[in-house]
Amino acid sequence: MKILIADDHHLILEGVKGKLAELGDDATFETAMTIDELHALLARDAAFDLLLMDLSMPGANGLEHVVEVRERHPGLPVVVLSGAEDGRQMKALLDIGVRGYIPKAYSPDIMLSAVRLVLSGGVYIPPMLFNPDAPPAPGPAIGEAHADASLSGLRSLLTERQLDVLRLLAMGKPNKSIARDLNISEGTVKIHLAAIFRALNVRNRVEAVVASRQLAGL
């Protein structure tokens, strides 16, 4: 398993590498600290299983470097690491095909769970994008009207408690953690998951997250 980490802070690079080493003994890492280094690495060897990239590296211009990587390497799963928690930016990145958006304020365990979800074929969406009651960010959001309608549709399929379970599921949390966070039993979590799978017409956790993303227009 080969993972490329692009960030211009040594502490971030070492911290991410250290946590992702828990993926297994076969996990290997390459790092880039500028956009030029990132492109040079990918030109030399594009056979990476995952790219985690920062948004504000030297050489970056808005989201253009993310778009460029997606165009040059469409088969490479890309996860964005960012110091910001901007819902409009998250939606824009998901729209162009990134497989996850992880705010740097999140814990290392959440990052690890998110990466596992993406490596298994899923998409990691920050829980704030599943919250239909969250106040909208100022200014026009990308696809805002469509997303609002889709979130209403998702809410019509699931109960509030099931939405809570789904938000935690999207963070990559296991049943035990979901039960602890919601102060319910693991058996109740399994019942809610079964109901979510039926409502979304999916077979497993990864498909549930992907289906909910599509329904939410993200």
Of 121-125, 160-164, 211-215, the one with minimum mean pLDDT is 211-215
> What long-range pairs does 24-27 form, CB within 8 A, spacing at least 24?
26/1, 27/1, 27/3
Domain that holds residue 164: 144-215
pLDDT digits (tens, 9 = 90+) for 1-24: 899 999 888 888 888 999 999 998
Reduce the DSSP state of residue 139 to 3 states and report it.
coil
193 plus 105 within the same structural domain: no
Q: How many domains does the chain have?
A: 2
68 plus 112 within the same structural domain: yes
- pLDDT at position 13 is 87
Give 183 or 151, the one with higher predicted confidence: 183
What's 179's domain CATH number?
A: 1.10.10.10
13 plus 97 within the same structural domain: yes
pLDDT digits (tens, 9 = 90+) for 69-91: 888 888 899 999 887 777 778 88
Residue found by looking up tokens 């690495």 in the block: 41
Is 178 contained in some domain?
yes
The answer to whether residues 48 and 75 touch, using CB atoms and an 8 Å cutoff, is no
What's 76's domain CATH number?
A: 3.40.50.2300
**Please, which pLDDT band fits residue 217 given cuts at 50, 70 and 90?**
low
- pLDDT at position 131 is 56
208 plus 109 within the same structural domain: no
Sign of CA dihedral 178, 181, 185, 188: negative
Is 132 contained in some domain?
no
- Is the pLDDT at 135 greater than 70? The verdict is no
> d(Cα 69, Cα 81) in Å, to the nearest integer?
15
φ and ψ of 35, to 5 deg:
-65, -40
Mean pLDDT of the region 112-137 = 73
**Please, which pLDDT band fits residue 30 given cuts at 50, 70 and 90?**
very high
Q: Residue 179: which residues within 8 A CB-CB, separation 6 or more?
A: 185, 186, 188, 189
149 plus 118 within the same structural domain: no
Is 110 contained in some domain?
yes
In angstroms and rounded to an integer, the radius of gyration of the C-alpha atoms of the chain is: 17
- Is the pLDDT at 141 greater than 60? The verdict is no
